[in-house]
Amino acid sequence: MRRLLSFLLFSFAASAAPVHAADTGWPAKPVTVIVASAAGGSADVLTRLVLNHLAIATGANFVVENRPGAAGGIGMAQIARAKPDGYTLGYGNINTMAVNPALFNKLPYDPVKDFTVVGRMFNVYNLLVVGADSPVKSVADLIALAKSKPGGLSYGAAGIGSSGHMGGELFKHMAGIDTMFVPYNGDPASLADLAGGRIDYSFTNASVAWPLVQGGKLRALAITSAQRVPFFPDLPTLAESGLPGYENVSWGGLVFPKGTPDAIVDKLSGALQKVLASDALRADLGKLSARPGEGDRTDFARYIAAEQKKWADLIDTAHIEKQN
């Protein structure tokens, strides 16, 4: 967590520094960036990190406003209602853009009709972790224990509809087990209970969980990527741990309110692609166990559509209860 906080402090300092516009067009004044999650979490820290690089590339002064609550609905609704003049930007992720439409009976925003996507900023994988004192040493151990105690184990994640929640439900569905989901207001709270033995396992953002694994408070069983990643070369995937085809990516990107001029969207999208290809940003993201996003705004829109179908299918086939 010290690593996350140091990046957060750096991001606050960089965001506060005045950056003058590079030309007479956009951006001519500060750009408000609404992040529909709490300050200090991995989404907030990683977004601020990317924005620091974008500020240099575009001459923009990005000012982050955190608007958590209602599974991201509060912040996303604020973005949707904003004037589409290029001076309100938003953070959209797997939760708000892909899972919520199928998980909730009613949303205060429409992820397709209310936004124009800019691009995917980063990908972060979740870790399947247990407490350091847990008798579970592998994914196979966890599945066997869960099957021996139907409904007797619990897992935690950062909120209903989060990538950790959906990754956990996908795990349950593919493994054929019955465990109870416990939602938390952020990964740190769930991991504190996990380390204290109050829940049995968790699917948690790697950038948050790994320092606790290194510190001996948690044990990592697997990573949710399709293949092993360079950050954790010795950590097996769920796919190679008995669940072939398992993959769960926690991704985040930038969106404008629908109606924002294409010239502005294209300018920011192009700048984002350039900074994501830079060695400097790749190195900074790597320090937080994240990888840069791929593709342009069209690619991002296609990716969101594919993710929406994936999680809608899971919610349907696994009979996950819809939320009001």
Same fold, 2-123+250-316 and 125-248: yes
Looking at residue 4, its pLDDT comes to 47
Give average pLDDT by consecutive 10-residue segment, the chain, 324 residues.
44 38 72 92 91 96 94 95 97 95 95 97 95 97 97 92 92 96 88 96 91 95 93 94 94 97 96 96 91 94 96 91 86
Helix (H) or strand (E) holding 40: none
The amino acid at residue 19 is V
> Any idea where the domains of the chain sit in the sequence?
2-123+250-316, 125-248
Look at residues 322, 316, 324, 323 and name the one whose alpha carbon lies nearest to residue 170: 316
Domain 2-123+250-316: assigned CATH number:
3.40.190.150
Instruction: Please give the CATH topology (third level) of the domain spanning 125-248.
Output: D-Maltodextrin-Binding Protein; domain 2 (3.40.190)
User: Which among 201, 183, 182 is positioned nearest to 142, based on CA atoms?
Assistant: 201
C-alpha 214: how far from chain center: 22
Q: Do 209 and 191 contact (CB within 8 A), yes or no? A: yes
DSSP classification of residue 323: B
Give the other-Cβ count within 10 Å of 179's Cβ: 23
The predicted structure's pLDDT at residue 205: 87
pLDDT at residue 22 in the model: 36
CA distance 225 to 250: 10
Whether residue 21 contacts residue 27, with contact meaning beta carbons closer than 8 Å, is answered with yes
* DSSP assigned state of 104: B
Q: What is the pTM of this model?
A: 0.84
What per-residue confidence (pLDDT) applies to 11?
42
Q: How far is CA 251 from CA 112, 192, 242, in A?
A: 17, 24, 24
